[in-house]
Amino acid sequence: MQKELGFVQELIKTVANFLVNYSFQVLGALIILAAGVFAANAVARFILKLCQKKGQDITLAKFMAGVARTLVLMFAVIIALGNFGITIAPFVAALGALAFGASMAIQGPLSNYGAGLSIILSRPFVVGNTITVAGVSGLVEEVKLSCTLLRDEDGVQITIPNKDIVGQILHNSFGYKIVEAVVGISYGDDPEKAIRTIQQVLAAFENVAKEPLAQVGIQQFADSSVNIGFRYWVPTVKYFQTLSAVNLAVFKAFQSAGISIPFPQREVRVIGQGLPQDSPR
């Protein structure tokens, strides 16, 4: 029991001596860290606002603000450590050795960060663009160092590792996505009238892009119909909404214009006479 009491007393004495000798250093270090965090956030906000004011891309602006924030925090930590008389040279050497040893184990994340830096600097796409890559398509919501976030037409968020983007064939249609549709008309109807009707329907829709212009024309001469194809651009986030509304409007416009949409038909002819009445069945 005396041994435990002696240990507790020694511990209390050690803590008291530490507080007496280093209390001001600890308080100073905490103040420096708090000031560093405040300064880092202030610098990041300033750089972000300045880049937005200058019309810089939001992805590049966020990256620059993040780098500036990290640098200010690093300086604050260095100053706080110096308040205790601790030099950072041994820490730098240790971090270098640790990074060398861990690089083989984290090749995937490191390649994602490298690819993310390449995307941010080269900017093959920016936030708000519609891209198709790695078998998926969607509107770019955010570009991070490790991954890129997309939002498809159904509102589903898609996360793509950046290493799966760099070096791949990438389609960028900016904020729009193309709609390709086809409707058949009877061979007895006027195709020019049908084309004009579809053009009028598309022109009446606010979500259909005026540039590039919609393309409407005869796409195919099918067995039972003349197929009229039409292609137009709509905002990616309103893809299905606009597609359904346009198809309904085209159907109603054809009815009003007296243009028929035929359904497939087959004509069956029986060649030869029927079987004799007394023939076996």
Q: What is the mean pLDDT of each run of 10 residues along the chain (281 residues)?
A: 64 65 70 86 88 77 83 82 64 60 59 87 90 92 91 92 92 92 95 97 95 94 94 94 96 96 78 58 48
196 and 238, same structural domain?
Answer: yes
pLDDT value, residue 47 = 87
Token pair for residue 7?
């240990």
- Residues 150 and 147: their CA atoms lie apart, in Å, by 10
Burial label, 16 (beta-carbon count in 10 A; 0-12, 13-18, 19+): exposed
183 and 152, same structural domain?
Answer: no
In a domain, 265, yes or no: no
pLDDT value, residue 190 = 96
In a domain, 269, yes or no: no
Q: How many domains does the chain have?
A: 3
Reported as a single tens digit per residue, the pLDDT across 119-144 is 988 889 988 999 999 889 999 999 98
pLDDT value, residue 24 = 66
In a domain, 236, yes or no: yes
141 and 208, same structural domain?
Answer: no
pLDDT value, residue 161 = 94
134 and 84, same structural domain?
Answer: no
Q: With beta carbons less than 8 A apart as the criterion, state whether 129 and 142 touch.
A: no
Contacts (Cβ under 8 Å, ≥6 apart) of 88: 78, 81
In a domain, 108, yes or no: no
pLDDT value, residue 103 = 53
151 and 80, same structural domain?
Answer: no
Closest CA to 201 of 254, 261, 259: 254
In a domain, 110, yes or no: no
14 and 89, same structural domain?
Answer: yes
207 and 140, same structural domain?
Answer: no
89 and 14, same structural domain?
Answer: yes
181 and 139, same structural domain?
Answer: no
Q: Phi and psi for 19 in degrees, rounded to 5?
A: -65, -40
pLDDT value, residue 57 = 72
247 and 183, same structural domain?
Answer: yes
245 and 199, same structural domain?
Answer: yes
In a domain, 194, yes or no: yes
Residue 161 sits in a domain whose CATH number is: 2.30.30.60
Q: What is the dihedral of CA 96, 99, 102, 108, to 10 degrees?
A: -160
127 and 71, same structural domain?
Answer: no
Residue 180 sits in a domain whose CATH number is: 3.30.70.100
In a domain, 115, yes or no: no
pTM of the model: 0.63
Residue 78 sits in a domain whose CATH number is: 1.10.287.1260
pLDDT value, residue 203 = 96
Its domain, for residue 70, covers 10-93
Q: What is the 3-state secondary structure (H, E, C) of the chain?
A: CHHHHHHHHHHHHHHHHHHHHHHHHHHHHHHHHHHHHHHHHHHHHHHHHHHHHCCCCHHHHHHHHHHHHHHHHHHHHHHHHHCCCCCCHHHHHHHHHHHHHHHCCCHHHHHHHHHHHHHHHHCCCCCCCEEEECCEEEEEEEECCCEEEEECCCCCEEEEEHHHCCCCCCEECCCEEEEEEEEEECCCCCHHHHHHHHHHHHHCCCCCCCCCCCEEEEEEECCCCEEEEEEEEEEHHHHHHHHHHHHHHHHHHHHHHCCCCCCCCCCCCCCCCCCCCCCCC
In a domain, 182, yes or no: yes
